[in-house]
Amino acid sequence: MEWVRFAKEAVIPEGSARIKFFGGSPIMVLRSGGKLYAYIALCSHKYYVLCERSVKDDKIVCPGHGEIFIASTGEPTQGKARSGLVRLDLEVRDGYVYVKLPSRDIVESIASESLVEGQA
């Protein structure tokens, strides 16, 4: 698993998020409560891609069916998703955020579940 330079830390102010794609995988970095968190930006309900505007205060609201995840843990709160968001390791070095990309197995497993369940 590879570390990638995601963005300058300063471009992710409190209560906001950035999403970038690496190898086809959407990766989200957000700041909540003064701390940075990184997730695979796929909802664990029906695998809609989360967006930067999904982050509100200390919550991540899925644009698909409204599941609300706790920003600091990725845990769902509404009962639609059966599991939390996949959290990724993150480091800040020299003013830049670095994220450890997920393994191919994890991304392929999520992709295959989304094909089975669809996005309806």
Task: Identify whether the C-beta of residue 58 lies closer than 8 Å to the C-beta of residue 72.
Answer: yes
80 sits near ligand FES (criterion: CB under 6 A): yes
Does 74 interact with ligand FES (rule: CB under 6 A)? Answer: no
Alpha carbon distance 14, 58 (integer Å): 9
Tokens (6 digits) for 46: 């029906």
Answer for the pair 81, 45: CB distance below 8 angstroms, yes or no. Answer: yes
Closest chain position to ligand FES (CB):
64
Which residue in 12, 29, 40, 43 binds ligand FES (CB under 6 A)?
43
Closer to ligand FES by Cβ: residue 11 or 66: 66
Least Å from the CB of residue 71 to ligand FES: 15
